[in-house]
Amino acid sequence: MSHFDDPAVLDRFADLVVTFAVNLQPDQILAIGSEIGKEDLTRAIAASGYRHGARFVDVSYFDLHVKRARAEFAREETLGFVPSWYGERVLELGRQRCARVGLTGPAHPGLMEGLDQKRLSRDQLPALKEGGQVVNERTTNWTAVPCPTRAWAALVHPDLDPEDAWARLGEQILHVCRLDEVDPVAAWKERQTTLAGVAGRLTARRLDALRFRGEGTDLTVGLLPTSTWINASFSTIDGIVHMPNLPSEEIFTAPDPARVDGVVRSTKPLVVGGSIVRGLEVEFRGGRAVRIDAAENADVLRGYAARDEGAARLGEVALVDGDGRIGALDTVFFDTLLDENAASHIALGEAYSFSAGDEDQHRLNHSIIHIDFMIGGPGVDVDGLTPAGETIAVLRDGAWQV
């Protein structure tokens, strides 16, 4: 039996999401983005929303089986079409200052196997470009949280009996979300204070670039003069503090999209568009990804990177130390929310506007995509390069050096 079979555990998890991570305010509308197969946690979060004063809870379920049918049978020229009301809904959530919760984790892993990956890359739903717009406008308090499913458990722990795998994944999710603490909110505040301190010290260094070096990786990522390191504690324009990822172990900033050079090898598989990209290797020249190779499903990421001018450039660089709870589990979760918080990572596509100063806003990367992939780990050293040409250690064996 999994912890997530216990209604009391679901309610405690939901309350952490509603009262702390998304920080729902009295009389706010709460929008929940979910998938078929994640009904139990969705309903628990909805109930918690109403218990804590939501005016209305709006649940939107995405069905990956319908996405598969589209990729298999729809006319080629229609695969990139997105109905206008999808994006308008997201923008309206911002205009009405709503709270948003998204549930991550594969509900139907392997469902997209056997499909034409180039066709599949044309349809990026449920991701919407308007999502990045409302994040940068800071009009919604939002969070993304993992939702365990039995199919996901079997993918993560294939060597275990299905019931044991289900129990193990539930135990791991509760651990990385700090639900195994007597006071998980206090535990999260302590961790975020630590990360905020590192982010402040790194910002004060005003580095010109970062260099990642490890097996198969030698990548230099230029930074902007006003690149600002941030931990995952955001505030809306109305002052609502929220945690956009639960869990989160990272600090991140906006790179210079014109100054990225070298080769980088992903240290964990990437799940994008329902497909698993394994053995990913990307080469950058002059800021642009000029080569994307992988052992499996490279065409999916190539398709995403070709969507617009900024899709092949970086919008984020993030650092993760070894003191977080996810990396210590030594588990590949096949879920970006968890895997990106186990290791340092970079993201193709849209930058977060609040991670650079006003004078550099015109230099930030813009795209309809934002795809994180993991490039760090104990075997990857991270150095900072100063404007004067000095090299300083930033991460060694998962330990901060700043």
Q: Read out DSSP for 6-73?
A: -HHHHHHHHHHIIIIIS-PPTT-EEEEEEETT-HHHHHHHHHHHHHTT-SEEEEEEE-HHHHHHHHHH
311, 334, 374, 400 alpha-carbon torsion, rounded to 10° = 140
Helix (H, G, I), strand (E, B) or coil at 185: helix
Handedness of CA 340, 257, 272, 18 (dihedral sign): positive
Tokens of 79: 């695969």
3-state helix, strand, coil in the chain (%, to 5): 35, 25, 35
Confidence of residue 379 (pLDDT cuts 50, 70, 90): confident
For residue range 190-225, list pLDDT tens digits in order.
999 999 999 999 999 999 999 999 999 999 999 999
Residue type, 242: H
Residue 256 scores a pLDDT above 90: yes
Confidence of residue 285 (pLDDT cuts 50, 70, 90): very high
Helix (H, G, I), strand (E, B) or coil at 271: strand
For residue range 96-132, list pLDDT tens digits in order.
999 999 999 999 988 888 898 889 888 989 989 899 8
Residue 281 burial class via C-beta count within 10 angstroms: exposed 0-12, middle 13-18, buried 19 and up:
middle
Q: Is the distance from CB of 242 to CB of 142 less than 8 angstroms?
A: yes
| CATH homologous superfamily for the domain 3-176 | Thermophilic metalloprotease (M29) (3.40.1830.10)
Average pLDDT over residues 225-244: 95
Measure Cα distances from 341 to 182, 184, 232, 324 in Å.
23, 18, 11, 8
Q: What residue ranges of the chain are covered by domains with CATH 3.40.1830.10?
A: 3-176
Q: Read out DSSP for 142-175?
A: EEEEE---HHHHHHH-TTS-HHHHHHHHHHHHHH
Pairing label, strands 281-285, 381-385: unpaired
Residue type, 184: P
